[in-house]
Amino acid sequence: MMWYLVIIKALVPILMLCFPVILILSFLKTPWFKGVCGEFYVHVLAKIHLNKDKYHVLRNVTLPTTDGTTQIDHIIVSEYGVFVIETKNMKGWIFGGTHQRQWTQKIFKYTNKFQNPIHQNYKHVETLKSILELNDRQIFSVVVFVGSSTFKTDMPENVINGPGLIKYIKSKDQSVLFDADVQMILSKIEAERLVPSRKTTRAHIDHVKQIVAEKQTRLVHIGSGVATAIQLSDDRWSQDIEIEPAFTDSWENRSWQIDQVQTKFKDRAFP
């Protein structure tokens, strides 16, 4: 019996050391932490390589919308335009196109479907265009991937890997705003944005979760046309719609989401 107690006594300090290490490693792998790291990388990149007198960098801007809130990773304001940046911290091979509803991430045998980030950034751009009264020549949607990801399909010029962000921004060298416009835009954004806080972030997350819940339960017609409500529990679907939804302005823009629900239901019901 004594040898048993000796072993336990020897293992206790080892377990006490390993437990916090495991917790830290688990935390480092969370989507939240990866997202924060990706946004921090873009923020530092912009601060170091862009002239602070010409380019004004705003981070983590939450704006009110008609149906809740929308959260923008970065907004860069300059005389050359307003750059609305959506950041993705991902690794592996990335497949996608401008008009595809979903893009694909592949890491060896692992495959993940995620929402087209160009579509995701659409709502951000449209919200700012409305608030700031800008036209298409004065605002640019930018999607930047950080991490060890590689594009395996041709991407539009505004979808770039991290180091290419500065090159893309500096490629826009035609003045489209006066200095007075730049200052007015900065003032408007500061006036409209919600105060950065845990409460603001929590409210935005709750709003997104509410939309996710509404999307997960849909009415589909089966056979004779009898409508049945189903709850989708497919992990990939849940992962796809955890991010901020795009095209929430009208039913026409959202109709493709019903097509996806119907397809997934048919796949599950009729293998």
Cα 108 versus chain centre, distance: 23
CATH 3.40.580 intervals, the chain: 36-200
Residue 13 clears pLDDT 70, i.e. is over it: yes
CATH fold label, 36-200: ECO RI Endonuclease; Chain A (3.40.580)
Band of the pLDDT at 215, cuts 50, 70, 90?
low
Q: Which of 218, 260, 249 is nearest to 65 (CA)?
A: 249
Find the DSSP H helices in the chain: 2-28, 31-49, 117-132, 164-171, 179-192, 198-216, 235-240, 251-269
User: Tokens representing 97?
Assistant: 């196109």
pLDDT digits (tens, 9 = 90+) for 127-172: 999 999 999 999 999 999 998 889 999 999 999 998 899 999 999 9
User: The tokens 């992990």 sit on which residue?
Assistant: 235
Computed over every residue of the chain, the mean pLDDT equals 74
Does pTM top 0.85 for this prediction? no
Are 80 and 173 a contacting pair, CB within 8 Å?
Answer: yes
Phi, psi dihedral angles at 177 (to 5 degrees)? -140, 145
Ranked by mean pLDDT, which of 101-110, 230-239, 253-262 comes out on top? 101-110
Phi, psi dihedral angles at 128 (to 5 degrees)? -70, -40
| pLDDT for the residue numbered 22 | 67
The count of residues in the chain is 271
| pLDDT for the residue numbered 69 | 84
DSSP state of 94: E
| pLDDT for the residue numbered 77 | 97
Residue 73 or 255, more confident = 73
Under 8 Å CB-to-CB from 99, ≥6 apart: which residues? none
| pLDDT for the residue numbered 125 | 95
Helix axes 117-132, 179-192, angle to 10 degrees: 110
